[in-house]
Amino acid sequence: MTRQLYTRTVQKADGRDLTFYGWEKHERPIVADLPPLEASALPYKRWHPLRQEWVSYAGARQGRTFFPDAASCPLCPAKSDGLTEIPADDFEMAVFENRFPAFRLDAGDAELVGGDEPAIGRCEVVVFSADHGGSLGGQSVERIELLFELWARQARQMMDEHGLACVLPYESRGEEIGVTLHHPHGQIYGFGFVPDLLMKSAEAQKAAPVVKDILDRTPSRLILDKSDHSMAFVPDIARYPYECWVAPHRGTPGPWDLSAEERHDMARQLKRALLRLDGLFGKPMPYVLSAQVAPVGFEDSYHFTLQIWPIRRAEDKLKFLASVEQVSGVFLVDVPPAAAADALRNVDIDA
Ligand SMILES: [Zn+2]
């Protein structure tokens, strides 16, 4: 079933745009928001010739908000006694350009020294809910479907209108992973180039249908949820303890190409996977969730996946990337995929 999606774009006090997304029309009055920051140096990037990858330098990021209390949270709706990033007293979901971006569309104006290049791109913040508490897994299936629509439209805008080469929607969840704001939110990075790891994945998929092969060979023991349209599972190539993927059965370049049924089933399976991860040790699971979508030029051979990389491997133990992982890229995994899937399937969830 197709549903009417509503968007409303407004300009913030400092010129950044903000778009409300909803299954209902956003008609709340627009009030004052944060005043403009002083102009800071534009971000730049430099090529690392040994790693063969870009490094981005953005000094302005050091000034960003760090663990504010709920009363001064910049992602909450506007309050009568305090300004936030969101100049309205309620909303379903909102997305706006990051105040401290590592990549900017206007980075071409940066002052550069030899070897530096402008860090062209766009960094957006996605606020999942007006409610300061809670989590992505705690949102309704409908709200998660709205997130997929938001990812789809913002990604297409970055690629089609802004000419960016590659988009990465993601959520970093938990203090243990480095999150500095508790309000449920994610981000979308658009890059003017295709980052190395994302290029490797896109090229591997161009050479062979590797994601389809992974789905086809996944035994039932590794499957958490499966419907006619999609499935949630522990991949047999998991690198993180309790790693979970959600993918449509059909190869598709990104959320902009999902059928209504695929979107619904993936949203429900993502919610259930996140609730299983939170239930596993009875406390919020820190993780990185990425929506892996096709870079420009790889749409025909790409298979969209959602990948959750959790870092809690036992009730009181975190998985740190230590010497071997950091230096060689070889992961040492102490929770085998079958054991992870058994444990996750045994978590009682109410969804
Ligand atoms: Zn908040």
The predicted-structure confidence for 128-161, as pLDDT tens digits, reads as follows 999 999 999 999 999 999 999 999 999 999 999 9
Burial class (CB within 10 angstroms; exposed 0-12, middle 13-18, buried 19+) of 170: middle
- What DSSP string describes 152-211? HHHHHIIIIIS--SEEEEEEEESGGGT----SSEEEEEEESS--HHHHHHHHHHHHS-HH
Contact indicator for 95, 102 with CB cutoff of 8 Å: no
- In this structure, what is the dihedral angle of CA atoms 73, 79, 80, 85, given to the nearest 10 degrees? 80
> What is the per-residue pLDDT across 224-243, written as a single tens digit (0 to 9) for each?
999 999 999 999 999 999 99
Percent of the chain with pLDDT over 90: 81
> What is the per-residue pLDDT across 174-221, written as a single tens digit (0 to 9) for each?
989 888 889 999 999 999 999 999 999 999 999 999 999 999 999 999
> What is the per-residue pLDDT across 69-112, written as a single tens digit (0 to 9) for each?
667 899 999 977 778 999 999 999 999 999 889 999 999 887 88
Residue 76 lies in a domain: yes
Query: Token digits for 69?
Result: 């209390």
Residue 351 lies in a domain: no
Supply the pLDDT for residue 59: 74
Q: Which residue has the higher pLDDT, 23 or 110?
A: 23
**Which protein residues have their CB within 5 A of the ion that is ligand 1?**
73, 75-76, 132, 183
Question: By residue range, what is the domain housing residue 323?
Answer: 6-345
Residue 57 lies in a domain: yes
Checking if the pLDDT of 296 tops 70, the result is yes
Tell me, what DSSP letter sits at residue 39?
P
The CATH number given to whatever domain includes residue 213 is 3.30.428.10
Local confidence band at 67 (pLDDT 50, 70, 90 cut-offs):
low
Q: Total structural domains in the chain?
A: 1
Contact indicator for 72, 83 with CB cutoff of 8 Å: no
Contact indicator for 105, 120 with CB cutoff of 8 Å: yes
Residue 280 lies in a domain: yes
Supply the pLDDT for residue 61: 56
Residue 190 lies in a domain: yes
Backbone region of residue 258 per phi and psi (left: phi > 0; alpha: psi in -120 to 50; beta: other values) = beta
Question: What number of helices (H) and strands (E) belong to the chain?
Answer: 6, 16
Centre of ligand 1 from the C-alpha of residue 149, in Å: 22
Amino acid at 102: A
Centre of ligand 1 from the C-alpha of residue 227, in Å: 35
Centre of ligand 1 from the C-alpha of residue 183, in Å: 4
Centre of ligand 1 from the C-alpha of residue 315, in Å: 27
Q: How far is CA 189 from CA 98, 166, 285, in A?
A: 10, 8, 23
Centre of ligand 1 from the C-alpha of residue 75, in Å: 5
